[in-house]
């Protein structure tokens, strides 16, 4: 499994939830994972029920079984730029003065790509970081990245900066970041739903990533609903076998099947719900077929009901483990 896992997806698909569950799933048997947020939404803190994440790595959870650890970091472009200036130019207090003067906002405004370089660079630094014994500090780094429509430009902006800056620290930094992002160490996963628009955006995103030479990982189908009716029942619903349904309801003790009886009155709303379910099942079947043509391995995660809490995250992590995540 790649050491940098980038998780993207169309808005509303639950990419932050999936990124968090993936971090829990990978933090097993003593493994350490770092979950990175780059959009400033504090979505990770909300999911784990913690205070807003600072610009420092903080332990936020233990993996199922208690043997692995999950750390989290909210990357702030301004703080990352100060780190960068200190690392390469040793500005120290002068860097803090630049912040007060608004020079940092000015720099990232006139060179928008610089902000993305700083964000991706901080994550890649965590991927490469080693302790004094020469071991990687984190076994996996999971990035909750921007949505699918922006992910290729976000990850590939370092190439643009490297082209603009032909030499010097900025050039070297961009090249080092791209070396990680385009290597086997990295995989870009796309989260989708079994709906037409998210699936189409996923297909477009995969094409763009491949065109940019960025490594596509897996498609993660989120919020998959259970199928309550078997194929025969779905067929019967589609064919609207009213008399048969009324008799079945009557045998279940829900009134007589005669015309105007309770069982007969329940037929229409039940058939309507069954037809809606049948239509959704058919739509999902069509979207699965589209995903199958993308030649990308998939995971599927179930719909756990309204909202998401910590228990739900652990349940999703368990589902990912069952599907051999990390192998």
pLDDT of 277: 66
User: What is the per-residue pLDDT for 254?
Assistant: 46
pLDDT, residue 246, reads 53
DSSP class of 102:
T
Token representation of residue 197? 């628009």
**What was the pLDDT predicted at 257?**
46
Distance CA 127, CA 326 (A): 16
Within a 13 Å sphere around the CA of 64, how many CA atoms are in the beta-carbon half?
19
* CB neighbour list of residue 175: distance below 8 Å, 6 or more residues apart: 158, 162
What pLDDT shows up at residue 76? 81
CA distance 204 to 212: 12
Structure token pair of residue 139: 């076994």
159 half-sphere exposure, CB direction, 13 A CA radius? 12
Confirm if 192 and 222 have CB atoms less than 8 A apart: yes
How is the beta sheet containing 69-74 ordered, strand by strand?
58-62, 69-74, 32-37, 140-144, 4-9, 186-192, 216-224, 298-302
Instruction: Tokens 């976000």: give the residue.
Output: 154
Q: Report DSSP state, residue 218.
A: E
Instruction: Measure the CA–CA gap between 279 and 247, rounded to whole angstroms.
Output: 24
Render pLDDT for 172-214 as a digit per residue (tens, 0 to 9): 777 888 889 999 989 999 999 999 999 999 999 999 999 999 9
CB 263 within 8 A of CB 257: yes
Residues of the chain with pLDDT under 70: 1-2, 81-82, 84-113, 158-170, 228-275, 277, 306, 326-327
Give the pLDDT confidence score for residue 20 in this predicted structure. 96
Q: Please give the pLDDT value at position 92.
A: 54
């Amino acid at each position: 499994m790649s050491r940098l896992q980038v998780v993207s997806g169309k808005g509303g698909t639950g990419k932050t939830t999936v990124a968090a569950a993936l971090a829990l799933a990978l933090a097993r048997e003593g493994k350490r994972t770092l979950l990175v947020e780059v959009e400033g939404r504090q979505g990770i803190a909300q999911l784990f029920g913690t205070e807003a994440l600072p610009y420092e790595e903080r332990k936020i959870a233990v993996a199922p079984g208690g043997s692995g650890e999950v750390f989290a970091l909210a990357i702030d472009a301004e703080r990352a730029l100060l780190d960068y200036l200190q690392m390469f130019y040793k500005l120290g207090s002068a860097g803090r003065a630049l912040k007060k003067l608004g020079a940092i906002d000015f720099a990232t405004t006139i060179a928008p790509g610089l902000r993305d370089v700083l964000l991706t660079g901080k994550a890649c630094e965590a991927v490469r970081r080693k302790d004094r014994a020469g071991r990687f500090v984190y076994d996996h780094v999971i990035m909750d990245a921007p949505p699918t429509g922006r992910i290729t430009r976000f990850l590939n902006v370092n190439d643009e900066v490297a082209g603009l800056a032909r030499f010097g620290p900025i050039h070297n930094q961009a090249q080092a970041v791209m070396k990680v992002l385009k290597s086997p160490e990295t995989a870009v996963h796309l989260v989708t739903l079994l709906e037409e628009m998210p699936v189409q955006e996923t297909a477009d995103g995969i094409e763009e990533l491949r065109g940019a030479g960025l490594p596509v990982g897996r498609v993660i189908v989120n919020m998959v609903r259970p199928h309550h009716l078997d194929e025969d029942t779905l067929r019967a619903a589609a064919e609207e076998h009213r008399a048969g349904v009324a008799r079945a309801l009557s045998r279940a003790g829900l009134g007589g099947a005669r015309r105007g009886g309770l069982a007969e009155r329940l037929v229409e709303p039940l058939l309507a719900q069954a037809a809606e379910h049948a239509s959704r099942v058919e739509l999902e079947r069509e979207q699965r077929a589209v995903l199958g043509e993308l030649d990308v391995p998939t995971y599927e995660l179930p719909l756990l009901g309204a909202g998401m809490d910590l228990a739900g995250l652990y349940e999703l992590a368990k589902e990912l483990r069952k599907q051999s995540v990390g192998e």
